[in-house]
Amino acid sequence: MLPKINAPFVEKVLVRFVRDELGKCGCRKGLLGLSGGLDSAVCAALAVRALGPKRVHALIMPYGGSFPQDVRDAVALARRLGIRHDTIDISPQIDLYFAADPKASRVRRGNKMARERMAVLYDHSAREGSFILGTSNKTELLIGYGTIHGDMACAVNPMGDLYKTQVRELARHLRIPPAIRRKAPTAGLWPGQTDEDEIGLTYEELDEILCGLVEGRLSRREIVAAGHAPAAVDRVLKRIKASEFKRRMPPIAKLSPRSVGHDFLYPYDWGK
Amino acid sequence: MNIALAQIAPKLGDVAANFEMHTDILEQARKKKADLVVFPELGLTGYTLKDLVEEVAFDPRADRRFGRLVARTKGLSAVFGFVEESPSEKGLFYNAAAFVADGRIVHVHRKVFLPTNGLFEEAKFFAQGREFRAFDAPFGRVGLLICRDFLHYGASYVHYASGADAIVCVSAAPGRGVGGGDAFETGRMWELMGEALSYFSTAFVVYANRVGIEDGVTFAGGSFVFAPGGRLVGRAAAVDPDLLVCPVDLGAVGRARRNWLFKRDEKPEVIWRSLERIVRATED
């Protein structure tokens, strides 16, 4: 069973979250990378509702001309939302780097691009005193379908407790244009890549399995009994386990009685 | 009388700001003719304290700021939530709530049930209270509970057995579940249990929750007052701050107990002997 959401209430909670998190730091400006895909579109729409269009800045960061339709969709959405947007082509830095290593795999190239976009966002964040809004959803976070220190990097993440199928529901409520809602989700690491091909499951099935494991606390046996292919469930379980490192700070070797990451424990909102 | 539910968003770790907020809300409630003002769990400190617990703790009978707040309760009653460190138990910190009336501390309850699972880690940072004891307030007999205490039904039974007219629960309950209506699904659980308890106890059930966001967690609000027998007197906003004044008629307790004779026919000694047998068997 897919987890349903009451989209207007989710919007209310997330809008307060964005406003509150930035407000605690005395910051009123939000910054995000706009890919032309669904997650960043929803995040931008939430940011506009939380902060107002004048306080949201979108960076569109294509690698050369490789995804022209996504760039057009991103620009159109930014215009529709009335937010400031800049397009920055990251191909010069990427090409320069890989000129010395032309045999690099497309996964390495894709990860490098994700981290380049992260670096550009953090530099703009420092320049403008704005907060980077994360766009990773719960499905991606759970199966580790993201680049650590790349698209997963952010100051606050309003999207991280929504499964992909719930993001779609929220997108309909937020009136994200059909051109964005209907396209096949892609990490955009290389042309033709789609999430569902790469993961080997539709997001509906993936979210059903994840929701059973995480929300329902069901065992592997119970998920299979509910009608999911054993191989699919195993693949999902393997991905969850293998990506825990992406969801955590790295372990620190403990030496002293009180160590960062072990027993020096303060709220994230400490002193804000 | 009027019961005010002070559904505030405390500032995490900023005790000075929270004292100011409590003082302001107390005065607003006084202007609205409140006789009892109930603030949420850890309202004076914020909830997600972790190692900040020791920095924000104070002794309610010696702390000057708390003394000034207590002095402002002339002519009314209030419940304040804070971290208690008493001089006789240095280094032990309690998640506590004080019932204050007419400028003096009537009772301090220390939370007994400290949730420590999932997103909760209270027993890592707090010592546990060891007693439920109802007390006499200016308007009647009151039993205090703090958040999770309420979900252990033996706790409210003790207040019921000791003749409480009102069971008052202060809370910092995070919202979870967004598949329902215009509030978190967990709010439904609190309200349902409060409603049921108002039947079981034939007493008023007062629930003061907080709002605001700490470390990504949104507190659910939805504070309420039930009169005996499941009559909803008032419900505060979900998620947003509120100061809701609920007019209540304490005569309802006597009337309810003439209609529903649970209290007259209650047999705490039977419950006690039965429990004693169970506890002894567990210890053997």
List, for residues B16-66, the tens digit of each pLDDT value.
999 999 999 999 999 999 999 999 999 999 999 999 999 999 999 999 999
- A12 and B239 within 8 Å at the Cβ level: the answer is yes
Residues of B in contact with A20 (CB under 8 A): 212-213
Token pair, residue B209, equals: 């929750």
Q: What tens digit of pLDDT does each residue of A125-167 get? A: 999 999 999 999 999 999 999 999 999 999 999 999 999 999 9
Residues of A in contact with B180 (CB under 8 A): 6, 9
- A17 and B213 within 8 Å at the Cβ level: the answer is yes
In this prediction, the answer to ipTM > 0.85 reads yes
Average pLDDT (B132-157) is 97
- B229: phi > 0 → left, psi -120 to 50 → alpha, else beta; which? left
pTM of the predicted protein model: 0.95
Give the residue among B42, B32, B68, B43 at the shortest CA–CA distance from B246.
B32
Residue B135 backbone phi and psi in degrees, to 5: -145, 165
CA dihedral B194→B200→B203→B205, nearest 10 degrees, is: -10
Q: How far apart are the first and last CA of chain A?
A: 40
- Strands of the sheet with A30-33, listed across from one edge: A84-87, A56-60, A30-33, A131-132
pLDDT band for position A113 (50/70/90)?
Answer: very high
Cα B202 from Cα B228, distance rounded (Å): 4
Kind and range of the H or E run holding B165: none
Answer positive or negative: Cα dihedral of B5, B8, B10, B16.
negative
Mean pLDDT estimate for chain B: 97
The residue of chain B nearest to residue A10, with distances taken between CA atoms, is B178
Residues of B in contact with A16 (CB under 8 A): 213, 218, 239
- B91: phi > 0 → left, psi -120 to 50 → alpha, else beta; which? left
Residues of A in contact with B52 (CB under 8 A): 266-267, 270
Q: What tens digit of pLDDT does each residue of B79-123 get? A: 999 999 989 999 999 999 999 999 999 999 999 999 999 999 999
pLDDT at A1: 63
Cα B66 from Cα B70, distance rounded (Å): 6
A6 within 8 A of A33, measured Cβ to Cβ? no
Give the residue among A132, A123, A189 at the shortest CA–CA distance from A159.
A132
Residue B223 backbone phi and psi in degrees, to 5: -60, 155
Tell me which residue in B178, B183, B212 faces A5 most closely, judged by beta carbons. Answer: B178
* Helix, coil or strand: residue A29: coil
Cα A272 from Cα A22, distance rounded (Å): 10
Cα B127 from Cα B79, distance rounded (Å): 20
Q: What tens digit of pLDDT does each residue of A76-99 get? A: 999 999 999 999 999 999 999 999
